[in-house]
Amino acid sequence: MPEFIEKIRTLVRYSRPGEEHTHGLVSLSSAAPLHDGPETILERLNAGDRVIPFEAPEGGPVTLVTRLDLAWVAPRPGTDSKLIGPGTFLITRQERVRVRIEDGEALEGVLQMELPEGFNRVSDFMNSPEDFFPLATSDGVYLVNKSRVREIQLFLTSPRPAAA
């Protein structure tokens, strides 16, 4: 008989192209595979599962949303940062940007990047393999799906690549 695994449920708002923003509960593992503490929403989104279950608040139905169909996921204000992104995420560069989603929605904020040595541009970060990235806005953190981004406008000129 399968064992029941206790999950941490946290409320988020999410966006899908052509639809109203929706609230739902996402379930996170109480133990992350790569660090101490619980799985984070960012890790859940980047895990590679085809669908993410979202439970309607107040015990409504569960909707299985194709991960690639999500434009962004935003934790509710006040969500513990330990549930949003891993503490092992080392911010090596921050840049103010405007992200335009494919349906025309624009999000403005600070792109917080973890880049390996020798890489320091937004384009380097956007070409990294993770599908979702955090964008800190005045409304809170948005976890944005790279495949749904139409363009990113930089407010400052990006620096030249770091010398090897």
Does residue 26 belong to any structural domain of this protein? yes
| pLDDT value, residue 164 | 46
Do 67 and 118 fall within a single domain?
no
Tokens representing residue 133 in the block: 């990235």
Query: 148 is in which domain, residue-wise?
Result: 93-154
pLDDT tens digits for range 117-133: 766 678 888 888 999 99
- Asked whether the CA dihedral 49, 94, 111, 124 is positive or negative, the reply is negative
d(CA 87, CA 113): 13
Helix (H, G, I), strand (E, B) or coil at 42: helix
Does residue 55 belong to any structural domain of this protein? yes
Do 61 and 105 fall within a single domain?
no
pLDDT tens digits for range 41-88: 999 999 989 999 999 988 889 999 999 999 999 999 889 989 998 876
Which of 25, 45, 79 is at the close of a domain?
79
- Give this prediction's pTM: 0.88
Instruction: Determine contact, residues 14/63, Cβ cutoff 8 Å.
Output: no
Does residue 129 belong to any structural domain of this protein? yes
Instruction: Read off φ and ψ for residue 65, nearest 5 degrees.
Output: -105, 130
**For the chain, what is the domain count?**
2
- Asked whether the CA dihedral 88, 107, 102, 73 is positive or negative, the reply is positive
Which of 79, 104, 126 is at the close of a domain?
79
Which of 23, 47, 79 is at the close of a domain?
79
Tokens representing residue 105 in the block: 């929605």
Tokens representing residue 3 in the block: 């064992």
Comparing CA positions, the residue from 121, 115, 16 lying closest to residue 73 is: 16
Do 150 and 102 fall within a single domain?
yes
Phi-psi region of 13 (alpha: psi -120 to 50; beta: other; left: phi over 0): beta
